[in-house]
């Protein structure tokens, strides 16, 4: 299954070992290209919050970078206006625009995103675990 992955999912996978890490490598995942800029900005903060060793943290981060297909901003721009109309929160607009472009679902644990817009299918991590 193709999925657009929300940054909150990657943050969660980096912080603790869970089913999230397993799902990351069983689907084709897409994200706006800026997603790893966010991670690099918060990398030291995240390392301080995790129980992972620095080596494990860095290896997992590297795996994310190799396995998530990044889509340039220019490719999602034509979908931004529609995404703004359906998004309950402006921070989710790039992810919704990308899902609209790719005609695929979104993986996010954002309850508001799942419940307040009906244009796109949004899966919580627990939904995907049940599907495995």
CA pair distance 86, 90, nearest whole angstrom: 10
Give the structural domain span for 76. Answer: 2-131
Residue 20 has pLDDT above 80, yes or no: no
Residue 3 has pLDDT above 90, yes or no: yes
Token pair 């981060």 is found at 61
State whether residue 121 is helix, strand or coil: coil
Q: DSSP label at 52? A: S
> What are the two backbone dihedrals, phi and then psi, of residue 105, each rounded to the nearest 5 degrees?
-85, 170
Give me the mean pLDDT over the 95-122 stretch.
96
Question: Is the torsion defined by CA of 45, 56, 68, 4 positive or negative?
Answer: negative
pLDDT at 71: 97
Q: What is the CATH number of the domain that holds 16?
A: 3.40.50.1010
pLDDT at 106: 97
Give me the mean pLDDT over the 24-34 stretch.
88
pLDDT at 18: 67
Residue 22 has pLDDT above 90, yes or no: no
Token pair 């969660």 is found at 12
Beta bridge partners of 32: 71
Question: What is the count of structural domains for the chain?
Answer: 1
Residue 24's pLDDT band (boundaries 50, 70, 90)? confident
| C-alpha distances in Å from residue 105, one per residue of 6, 42, 80 | 11, 26, 16
């Amino acid at each position: 299954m193709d999925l657009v992955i929300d940054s909150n999912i990657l943050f969660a996978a980096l912080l603790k070992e869970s089913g999230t890490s397993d799902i990351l490598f069983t689907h084709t995942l897409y994200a706006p290209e800026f997603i790893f800029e966010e991670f690099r900005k918060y990398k030291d903060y995240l390392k301080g919050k995790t129980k992972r060793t620095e080596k494990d943290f860095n290896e997992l981060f590297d795996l994310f970078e190799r396995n998530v297909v990044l889509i340039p901003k220019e490719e999602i721009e034509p979908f931004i206006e529609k995404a703004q109309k359906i998004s309950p929160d402006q921070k989710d607009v790039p992810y919704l625009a990308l899902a609209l472009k790719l005609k695929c679902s979104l993986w996010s644990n954002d309850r508001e995103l799942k419940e307040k817009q009906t244009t796109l299918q949004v899966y919580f991590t627990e939904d995907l675990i049940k599907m495995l």
